[in-house]
């Protein structure tokens, strides 16, 4: 119960912090619109509303991933910069409970990407949003945000030794868009890339949203989101313990 309270309080706090960043919100809200517009003109020749919806949802998930890649990967560095990292580590709760809601909150700001993309597509280009499985579609939104947020947590831990972590995270933005089938279906990619696609929360989040809307094996997609959340979480926590121990040994907690 207490751990859940800490997670919730952390999410609320960090969601407020990120939501009050005009840059994050500005980029989060406008960049997917640009993507969606590009995709609309690319796919409109096909004339299929399903293809247009695919492009619209793909842009939204791409926006969510961009948030995680850029901001969540540098979450620890940002706390260092703000001078709050030592205070968070010195707290008597497990540090994973402090860091996890931070990266999930960053990915959650992607809700703005989703909302603006769908509204833009509907109002400007008349792209409909059918809801074949309304409940599953509604569940797919937090499932995508949380699984991508926890992927951001694992990424943050993998890049924790690099001072330019957010730049490295940024360089992963486009490859993940491609590998997750956010711009076009992964079926067109070489077969050897498919395991990479299946290991990404963005792939299953996108599929869950799409299948929730158009129909399909949405519960499998949601299950994969949940499974990957656990796997990413376990990887992140395992690295986190080593990082904290090393940081206490090498006195690198307060270095900016």
Partner 1 sequence: MAVIEAIKLRRTYRTTTGVLRRKPLEVEAVRGISFSVERGELFGLLGPNGAGKTTTIKMLITLLLPTSGEARVLGHDVVDDAREVRKRIGYVFGGDRGLYERLSAYDNLRYFAELYGVSGREQRTRIDEVLELVGLKGREHERVEGYSRGMRQRLHIARGILHDPEVVFLDEPTIGVDPVGARDLRRMISDLVAGGKTVLLTTHYMFEADALCDRIAVISRGEIVGAGSPAELKGRVQGGHVTEIEVFGVDDPTVDRLRGIAGVTAVTIEEREQKQVLVVQTSGEHEVTAALLAQLDGFEVGRVASREPTLEDAYVALVDE
| Residues within the interface to partner 1 (CB under 8 A) | 2, 5-6, 9-10, 13, 16-17, 20-21, 82-84, 86-93, 98, 248-251, 253
**Minimum distance between the CB of residue 109 and partner 1, rounded to whole angstroms?**
13
**Identity of the residue, 9 or 119, whose beta carbon is nearer to partner 1 in the bound complex:** 9
**Minimum distance between the CB of residue 15 and partner 1, rounded to whole angstroms?**
11
Tokens of 244: 């904290």
**Minimum distance between the CB of residue 236 and partner 1, rounded to whole angstroms?**
19
**Identity of the residue, 23 or 192, whose beta carbon is nearer to partner 1 in the bound complex:** 23
Tokens of 140: 């797919």
**Identity of the residue, 227 or 255, whose beta carbon is nearer to partner 1 in the bound complex:** 255
**Minimum distance between the CB of residue 174 and partner 1, rounded to whole angstroms?**
29
**Identity of the residue, 24 or 107, whose beta carbon is nearer to partner 1 in the bound complex:** 24
**Identity of the residue, 13 or 48, whose beta carbon is nearer to partner 1 in the bound complex:** 13
**Nearest-angstrom CA–CA distance, 85 and 100:** 14
**Minimum distance between the CB of residue 210 and partner 1, rounded to whole angstroms?**
35
**Minimum distance between the CB of residue 233 and partner 1, rounded to whole angstroms?**
19
Tokens of 147: 């699984």
**Identity of the residue, 84 or 171, whose beta carbon is nearer to partner 1 in the bound complex:** 84
**Identity of the residue, 42 or 91, whose beta carbon is nearer to partner 1 in the bound complex:** 91
**Nearest-angstrom CA–CA distance, 160 and 193:** 26
**Minimum distance between the CB of residue 9 and partner 1, rounded to whole angstroms?**
4
CA dihedral angle for residue 10, residue 11, residue 12, residue 13, rounded to 10 degrees: 50
**Nearest-angstrom CA–CA distance, 138 and 185:** 22
Tokens of 254: 């307060």
């Amino acid at each position: 119960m207490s751990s859940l309270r800490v997670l919730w309080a952390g999410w609320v706090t960090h969601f407020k912090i990120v939501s009050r960043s005009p840059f994050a919100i500005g980029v989060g809200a406008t960049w997917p619109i640009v993507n969606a517009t590009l995709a609309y003109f690319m796919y409109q020749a096909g004339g299929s509303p399903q293809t247009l919806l695919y492009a619209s949802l793909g842009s939204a998930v791409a926006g969510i991933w961009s948030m995680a890649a850029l901001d969540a990967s540098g979450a620890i560095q940002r706390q260092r910069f703000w001078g709050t990292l030592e205070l968070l580590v010195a707290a008597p709760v497990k540090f994973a409970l402090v860091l996890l809601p931070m990266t999930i909150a960053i990915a959650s700001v992607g809700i703005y990407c989703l909302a603006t993309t769908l509204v833009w597509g509907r109002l400007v280009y008349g792209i409909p949003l059918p809801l074949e499985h309304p409940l599953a579609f509604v569940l797919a939104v937090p499932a995508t945000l949380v699984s991508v947020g926890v992927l951001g947590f694992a990424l943050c831990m993998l890049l924790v030794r690099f001072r330019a972590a957010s730049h490295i995270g940024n360089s992963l933005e486009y490859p993940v868009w491609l590998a997750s089938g956010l711009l076009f279906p992964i079926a067109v990619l070489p077969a050897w890339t498919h395991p990479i696609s299946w290991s990404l929360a963005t792939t299953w989040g996108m599929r869950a949203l799409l299948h929730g809307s158009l129909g399909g094996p949405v519960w499998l997609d949601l299950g994969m989101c949940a499974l990957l959340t656990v796997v990413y979480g376990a990887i992140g926590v395992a690295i986190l313990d080593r990082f904290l121990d090393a940081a206490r040994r090498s006195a690198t907690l307060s270095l900016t």
